[in-house]
Structure 1
């Protein structure tokens, strides 16, 4: 998928903490919990609750957020469309990771079973 460098740079410089409240609102509105959201974030990144909070308070960018993450080995199993983008076709590695997280949050909000979201074969 062709995306402009400007778009990629804008997304890379966006802070995780500025997007996190939107994730919370989305899942809570659909009857899910912050704990479930954290379970999904932890699965993808390896961050525990304290580290997630630390990164929010430090106002780290998505670039730093994913640079510090230990991406789950099964993250590449996250496929499909999110925000109009086919995840498996995104060429920019950082953008792909951001979309992985977006997709997992969407699946949680839409009521997909946690076993399926976490893609543990």
Structure 2
């Protein structure tokens, strides 16, 4: 597979506005986006703001995440041409889990389904 170092070193703060744009363009809210991020990572508003302010890269973002949701194994399907459940690199898989959840939110999937309830 490709060398993921470039992605791992991207700051979450540089990508976050794109997440906001993507969901708002589809009529979703920043609060819904945060619900998805918090569900996956265990962050809260203060933690999210801190990592944005300090420009943490994706590697640090997931390394310092309070708790990866125990239901991440239920996240399945294609994102960026790859099946998330088959991605071998653990960090890239977490990044793609986040991408997949945000994509589902933007596509209008019900929150209960996105949060794997």
TM-score bin (small chain)? over 0.9
String of CA shifts for 1:59-105, please: whole Å, max 9, x gaps: 00100000011100001111100011110110000000000000000
Return 5+ residue gaps in structure 1 as ranges.
Answer: none
Return 5+ residue gaps in structure 2 as ranges.
Answer: none
String of CA shifts for 1:24-74, please: whole Å, max 9, x gaps: 000000000000000000000000011111101100010000001110000
2:56 is matched with: 60
- TM-score relative to the length of structure 1: 0.94
Aligned residues: 116
Runs of at least 4 residues off by over 3 Å: none
**Counterparts of 1:28 and 1:10, CA distance in 2:** 27
Residues 1:30 and 2:26 aligned together: yes
2:68 is matched with: 71
1:81 is matched with: 78
Query: What RMSD over aligned residues (CA atoms) do the two structures have, in Å?
Result: 0.6
- TM-score relative to the length of structure 2: 0.97
